[in-house]
Structure 1
Amino acid sequence: MRFIAAFAVFLFHLTMLSIHTPHGIDVLHQFKDEGVREAYNSVFHIAGFTGVSFFFALSGFVLTWSARSTDTLTGFWRRRFFKIYPLHIVTYAAGLLLLTGSAFRASDDLPGVFLLQSWIPDARVIFAANSPSWSISCEALFYVLFPLLLPLIERIPASRLWWWSAAMVAGIFAVATIGHLYVSMEYQFWFTYTLPPLRLMEFVLGIFAARLVILGRWPDIRLAPATVLLVLAYALALQLPQVYAQTAVTIVPVVLLVGAGATADIEGRSRLLRSRTMVWLGEISFAFYMVHLVVLLSARKWLGAEDSYSTPKALLVIAGCLAVTMVLAWLLHIGVERPAMRHWSVRRQDRDRGRTTASV
């Protein structure tokens, strides 16, 4: 499911225009046919919003599901750091080298190195170097707070979890409404979409969903109906102002889909999603997400940022970018992500103690 969400973000980034990132590279206009461009943009211009929302909710769910009662604050934070940071710094460096180049400005590009970019209300900073890393800036806040939030949430009686979930959904709609009515256009996107504390509510909804599943309070919603509900919500979001399409309209179906996927997995019903291929795609999904835009923008830059192609040729270029992204994602997974987790996510003395115990 993570890979499907990451692929949705890939499709979304094909709608980018030169004004969308500091790199000034237009991706959508590689389609020469104006009708094709408009049709593609009309369908996928919010796909990335839904994909990222899914990541945030899923993150809260998975961390809650896998939480260890014997874990320590430093142990948890260490694992999370080495899960995301090495891959982030490699792909961010690639963006700086291949896309930013001589246009490097410390004030714009350095905050992203430290995952602080999403706190700064400037698109040149938020989307510097490797634009998808803005969401990792949000995740960093989630990871810092998770060990502190979970004990508090675990104290909430099962009968009240749905009410707390409803409060989170209401909060998400409130942020969209406040942004729509009271925040100037200059800061609206930052306030409603990239500011980490306001994205925390989706993460917390994922925690609530996990608790409901653990406590046996999750409704019997199957994957197919949950998917249909998300598709319908997405279709509705396409007709609404962007501040509501970003998260508010789709968040309930997204969380229902996460819970439905988890219960299907527990009961062994999700055969397709449990297949070897889909599991592998899920394993490389983080690397895919982190490297795909560098590939898309670099290819567009090298092939000719102003060039447009016939629809078959444009689709061939996109397929080539997808293939390159898949290969790079696999290499990054086995060469950066997995080794970092294996060697650094646990203290050496703890690894040695584990080996000693295993040998005994």
Structure 2
Amino acid sequence: MLHPSPARGSSMSTPGSSPDRIRSLTGIRAFAALAVFLPHALSVSGVFAGSAARKAADATIPLATSSVTLFFVLSGLVLTWSAPTRLDANAFRRRRLVRIFPAHLTVWTLAVPLIAGYGISAQMLTVSGPLKPGPALADLFLLQACYPRYDLMTAVNPVTWSLACELLFYLAFPLLLTLVRRIPRHRLWHCTALTTGIGLSVPCLALLLDGPDFMPSVPVSLEQLWAAYMFPPSRLPEFVLGMLLARIVMEGMWRPLRLRWILPLPFTAIATLAVLPPVFAFGPYFAAPVAVIIAELASRDARRAPSPLRGRALVFLGDRAFAFYLVHYVVIMYTRHFVLGPGTRYGTWAGLGWVFLAFLPLSCAAAWLLHRYVEKPAVDRFSTGRLPHPGLHRRTRQVPGPPPA
């Protein structure tokens, strides 16, 4: 529901006078989901025969890792912004589980027959052999990121490791929200800087681990990748960073920035990876650049300032970004195995044709079906209705919250 616009000249929306969600944060999810899709379709799928094309495809991997960071920071901001003054922890966790598990279970059920029937090699990864019940069940219950084992981390639908992180975030959120709300206003920026620093320490500590490369296109050891990228507690600082940014924007402490100055920040961070150890391409290294963009977009929508990500088409795609993220890898697996054929490789233009004329549209169609017939009905059926009007404590400047992460 949209409410009347604030009077001209008002700098910040007031309760009851603004849209009931921050549309720009929904729109940016569409770009983030596409950025995750590209490395899986271009690099992991192995469609290119030429070494130059394969190297170019591998160079897209940081797009996915930085986008996962965006999702984690965005999740913390969204949940904090939309939380009621008195949060019912049990009801909150129930709503979040309903948000992710029906769609996750559906995609898991689609993936298991392919992998069980044709072996792990059907996943497009550099392993072979039968699907083991233990890793499959760990993937189902989102426990696959708790221990650094290759078969655990890559079982069934490999992208669901991020849901294991989100599950930790949801379980910890009621306690974290209480702590974040207790931070004095004048200490918010200090806590934000400290949280960013803690996140940056994660890849530094991961350098202490050693071992063989995870896979040819990922030149870090399995232990380093797990510790810096997939281990849920390692990603908690990014989620907390989003929570702190929510308070900063809601308190009216965010100073507007020009988008043309800040949108290149993640790409600048990607460029600096050339002089850093490879493990920095995974995990919290991108937290600060994407956090600046997310906070600015939230502030713009709250102030009703212009935003290029608020259009109806982007919001439509952003609403389906979670379904797209969840199903695209399995769609590529099926298409790669039954349409292209296992192990087949193509020239640059033919490979790009398969990516953008088969993998992408089929993934979009599957995402639409998953959102329309599983994700949305489950949320509508099992959620307990809309949350009360969002806010922090009495001194907090309230603005309406964006859609669920």
- Shared fold per TM-score greater than 0.5: yes
Alignment match, 1:318: 355
**Are 1:108 and 2:135 counterparts?**
yes
The structure with more helix, counted as a fraction of residues: 1
Work out the CA distance in 2 between the residues paired with 1:346 and 1:85. Answer: 16
**Are 1:132 and 2:159 counterparts?**
yes
Alignment match, 1:50: 66
Work out the CA distance in 2 between the residues paired with 1:3 and 1:224. Answer: 19
**Are 1:86 and 2:91 counterparts?**
no
Change (3 A) 1:238 1:251: farther
Q: 2:267 aligns with which of 208, 231, 243?
A: 231
Q: How far has the Cα of 1:253 moved from its partner? A: 0.5
Letter of the 2:91 partner, please give it. G
Q: How far has the Cα of 1:98 moved from its partner? A: 2.2
- Tell me the TM-score normalized by structure 1: 0.89
Q: Which moved more, 1:33-42 or 1:169-178?
A: 33-42
1:283-316 per-residue CA deviation (whole Å, 9 max, x = no partner) reads: 1000000000111122112212221112222111
Alignment match, 2:206: 179
Alignment match, 1:247: 283
**Are 1:276 and 2:303 counterparts?**
no
Do 1:112 and 1:125's aligned partners in 2 also have CA atoms closer than 8 Å? yes
Alignment match, 1:20: none
Work out the CA distance in 1 between the residues paired with 2:136 and 2:75. Answer: 26
Change (3 A) 1:234 1:100: farther
1:3-51 per-residue CA deviation (whole Å, 9 max, x = no partner) reads: 111111101213545xxxxxxxxx23x1223222222322x02211101
Q: How far has the Cα of 1:186 moved from its partner? A: 4.2
Work out the CA distance in 1 between the residues paired with 2:48 and 2:222. Answer: 29
Alignment match, 2:382: 344
Q: How does 1:193-208 map to 2 (within 5 A)?
A: 193-208=229-244
Unmatched runs of 5 consecutive residues or more in structure 1: 18-26, 348-360
- Tell me the TM-score normalized by structure 2: 0.79
Change (3 A) 1:313 1:15: closer
**Are 1:35 and 2:24 counterparts?**
no
Q: Which moved more, 1:199-208 or 1:105-114?
A: 105-114
Q: 1:166 aligns with which of 175, 193, 197?
A: 193
Q: How far has the Cα of 1:222 moved from its partner? A: 3.0
**Are 1:145 and 2:172 counterparts?**
yes
Q: 1:65 aligns with which of 49, 69, 81?
A: 81
Do 1:272 and 1:278's aligned partners in 2 also have CA atoms closer than 8 Å? no
Do 2:73 and 2:242's aligned partners in 1 also have CA atoms closer than 8 Å? yes
Unmatched runs of 5 consecutive residues or more in structure 2: 1-27, 120-129, 212-220, 386-405
Do 2:37 and 2:64's aligned partners in 1 also have CA atoms closer than 8 Å? yes
Do 1:284 and 1:330's aligned partners in 2 also have CA atoms closer than 8 Å? yes
3-state secondary structure, aligned to 2:330: helix
Work out the CA distance in 1 between the residues paired with 2:110 and 2:275. Answer: 36
1:230-266 per-residue CA deviation (whole Å, 9 max, x = no partner) reads: 2211211254222212134321111101101111222
Aligned residue pairs, count:
336
Work out the CA distance in 1 between the residues paired with 2:335 and 2:306. Answer: 36
Work out the CA distance in 1 between the residues paired with 2:274 and 2:369. Answer: 36
Do 1:64 and 1:150's aligned partners in 2 also have CA atoms closer than 8 Å? yes
Identity of aligned residues (%): 37
Letter of the 2:109 partner, please give it. A
Alignment match, 2:399: none
Letter of the 1:250 partner, please give it. F
Alignment match, 1:210: 246
In angstroms, what is the RMSD of aligned CA positions?
1.7
3-state secondary structure, aligned to 2:313: helix
Structure 1 segments, 4+ long, off by >6 Å, are: none
